[in-house]
């Protein structure tokens, strides 16, 4: 097997391991809040804390990647995440748990920007969408493992032991990364010069801000709507299955749509997928409100379209004409900006939910998706 496919499989597993360890917290909420006497608002803050760390540390990590290379940087991040996950299981009070959760976010921030760097250096431009689709499919795979599997484990294992169980995935990911990943020889890298060059790249900022809007929409489809009280009352024990359906649809989109997008033109495909999602999400909200089984179809379609969008943004990131030795810095900026959307989405959703209910939030997600489509229209690339 060629090196590029080996490292892509390992990058997929690394992505799965870090996101599983993050997403599992959502399932363990009730026992953790009970043990530490937390209220729901504070626990919601904890859920967003790792994303905040990715916002803060994206650029510094990008500089670290340019200096150390993706192999050593990702190993460092996996080590940090592993230690944090173990320590979360030993927490005795809210402050401890908060610090260790932030620490886990540091590990995520150090790991994730390495994956676009590996894809950019290992795959030609025409295969970037497929490569991004494969390693990003680790995210919904991690969601399935972290949400669905943990729901079945929780009656049998204490929440502390579930954290430790998922920590083993991080160790396995680190071992595989150490064995397979190669150090990239980039030559002498000037951090000051690199940051000046990369920060002036308008295409990079355009792609990054467009991806920020996508993450707001992604939050709506994968977290806000599936967690709605009306939906859980409607579906009952099948609610986790709906989450799994969205995640499976994402994986299908990640793996199958990049070749189709290439065929019709990636810029055209990106705009089409985003406009489609903008129409699907209000219908999804309607389906929840009237308790229609159409939510299953809409959930799958929304997940499928999002699975087509995400790899395209990462593919366009590789075409921003950033020098290869500085691409880690570009990846850091990209990850930092997009995660602003992940941090803002829950806050904006809560505000609009109070004002306009589920339809008010649906409009937010639709406007965000349309904004992404408009920004994509201005990408300075040929529609080929």
Q: C-alpha angle 327/332/338, rounded to 5°?
A: 125
- What are 208's two structure tokens? 């990054």
Assess contact for 312 and 269: CB atoms under 8 A: yes
Between helix 29-36 and helix 40-68 the angle, nearest 10°, is: 110
3-state helix vs strand vs coil in the chain, percent to 5: 85, 0, 15
Residue in 275, 259, 262, 265 with CA at minimum distance from that of residue 213: 275
DSSP secondary structure code for residue 78 in this structure? H
Q: What is the pLDDT of residues 251-281, one digit of tens each?
A: 899 888 988 898 899 999 999 999 999 999 9
Helix extents (H) in 145-265? 150-153, 159-180, 191-199, 202-219, 229-235, 239-264
The token pair that represents 233 in the structure block: 């009352």
The pLDDT score that the predictor gives to residue 384 is 41
Rounded Cα–Cα distance for residues 109 and 65 (Å): 12
Q: What is the reported pLDDT for 383? A: 43
Question: What's the N-to-C CA distance of the chain in angstroms?
Answer: 30
Tell me whether residue 323 is in a domain: yes
CATH number at residue 272: 1.20.1250.20
Q: Quick check: is 33 in a domain?
A: yes
Residue 382 counted as domain residue? no
Prediction pTM value: 0.82
Structural contact between residues 67 and 101, judged by C-beta atoms closer than 8 angstroms: no
Q: How far is CA 228 from the centre of its chain?
A: 21
Q: Tell me the H-state helices in 112-147.
A: 114-122, 128-136, 138-143
Residue 187: exposure state from Cβ atoms within 10 A (0-12, 13-18, ≥19): exposed
CA distance linking residue 257 with residue 173, whole number of Å: 27
Q: How many domains does the chain have?
A: 1
DSSP letters for 351-363: HHHHHHHHHHHHH
Q: Residue 333 belongs to what H/E stretch?
A: helix 327-377
Whether residue 384 is contained in a domain is answered as no
> Would you state the pLDDT for residue 345?
87
Residue that is written with structure tokens 């994402």 in the block: 250
Q: Would 337 be classed as within a structural domain? A: yes
Distance (Å, rounded) from C-alpha 28 to C-alpha 49? 16
Note down the domain range covering 43. 3-181+189-377
Alpha carbon distance 366, 244 (integer Å): 22
CB atoms within 10 A of CB 202: 10
**In the chain, which residues have pLDDT < 50?**
383-384
pLDDT for the residue 8? 87
Examine residue 383 and state whether it is found in any structural domain, yes or no: no
pLDDT at 175: 95
């Amino acid at each position: 097997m060629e090196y590029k496919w080996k490292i892509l499989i390992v990058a997929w597993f690394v992505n799965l391991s870090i996101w599983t360890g993050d997403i599992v917290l959502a399932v363990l909420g009730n026992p953790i809040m009970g043990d530490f006497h937390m209220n729901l608002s504070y626990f919601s803050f904890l859920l967003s804390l790792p994303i905040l760390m990715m916002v803060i540390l994206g650029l510094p990590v990008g500089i670290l990647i340019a200096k150390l290379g993706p192999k050593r940087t990702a190993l460092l991040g996996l080590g940090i995440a592993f230690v944090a996950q173990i320590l979360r299981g030993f927490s005795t009070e809210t402050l401890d748990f908060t610090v260790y959760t932030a620490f886990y976010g540091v590990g995520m921030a150090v790991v994730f920007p390495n994956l676009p760097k590996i894809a950019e250096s290992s795959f030609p431009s025409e295969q970037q969408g497929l490569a991004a689709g494969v390693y990003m499919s680790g995210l919904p795979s991690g969601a399935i493992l972290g949400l669905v599997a943990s729901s079945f484990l929780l009656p049998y294992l204490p929440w502390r032991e579930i954290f430790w169980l998922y920590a083993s995935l991080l160790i396995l990911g680190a071992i595989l990364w150490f064995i397979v990943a190669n150090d990239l020889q980039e030559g002498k890298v000037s951090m000051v010069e690199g940051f000046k060059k990369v920060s002036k790249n308008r295409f990079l900022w355009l792609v990054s801000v467009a991806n920020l809007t996508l993450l707001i929409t992604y939050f709506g489809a994968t977290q806000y709507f599936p967690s709605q009280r009306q939906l859980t009352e409607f579906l009952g024990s099948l609610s986790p299955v709906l989450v799994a359906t969205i995640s499976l649809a994402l994986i299908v989109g990640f793996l199958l749509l990049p070749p189709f997008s290439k065929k019709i033109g990636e810029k055209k495909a990106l705009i089409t997928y985003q406009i489609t999602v903008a129409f699907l999400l209000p219908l999804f909200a309607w389906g929840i409100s009237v308790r229609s089984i159409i939510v299953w179809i809409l959930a799958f379609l929304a997940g499928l379209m999002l699975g087509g969008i995400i790899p395209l943004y990462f593919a366009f990131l590789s075409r921003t004409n950033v020098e290869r030795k500085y691409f880690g810095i570009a990846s850091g900026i990209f990850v930092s900006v997009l995660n602003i959307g992940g941090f803002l989405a829950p806050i904006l959703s809560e505000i609009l939910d109070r004002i306009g209910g589920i339809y008010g939030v649906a409009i937010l997600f639709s406007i965000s998706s349309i904004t992404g489509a408009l920004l994509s229209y201005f990408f300075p690339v040929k529609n080929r």
